[in-house]
Amino acid sequence: MIELLVVLVLISLITALTAPRLAGPLGNLQLKTAAKKIAASLRYARSLAAGEKINRVCVFDFENQKLTINADAEPGAGEAADVPKEVRGTTYVLPKGVSLKQAVAGDTVVDSGLFQVVFFANGGSSGGDIVISGDNGRALLIHIDFITGMVEIAKSKLE
């Protein structure tokens, strides 16, 4: 009986020591997933722009915490009923616990309002960096190269 109690105490000690180490990476899962979805959406917008030879505008809305991708339509076309759905755009709303923190393009730093990145028909883009953060204070940087339009995810230096 004593041996059984010793084994149970050892198992509970090991569980108590390893549980916090396993919980940390799971907390970052939502942030990483959101970063991957944003990066995939931006890559898709670049692909559509190059394939269809139509500029794509990606608008980051800091107030509503969402990303909207539109074709570069005529001014004033917006959300009109006669505009096809693929021109009106696709929207990705960030999950709870993840937020847009900052966007940088050249010398311009945006942390509220709207920030846009344009993917051109030749495969290039207007470029920029977008920082998203989680509830735990961790942040990821999504970098868009202005020459090639390539999208990369990295750890943010703002952490």
Q: For the domain that residue 103 is a member of, what is the CATH number?
A: 3.55.40.10
Specify if 7 maps to a domain.
no
Number of domains in the chain: 1
pLDDT score at 81: 43
Total Cβ atoms within 10 A of residue 126: 17
Specify if 4 maps to a domain.
no
Specify if 122 maps to a domain.
yes
Specify if 137 maps to a domain.
yes
Range of the domain at 81: 30-155
Q: What percent of the chain has pLDDT over 70?
A: 84
Specify if 134 maps to a domain.
yes
Specify if 63 maps to a domain.
yes
For 136-152, write each residue's pLDDT tens digit.
888 999 999 989 999 99
**In which band, very low, low, confident or very high, does the pLDDT at 58 lie, cut at 50, 70 and 90?**
very high
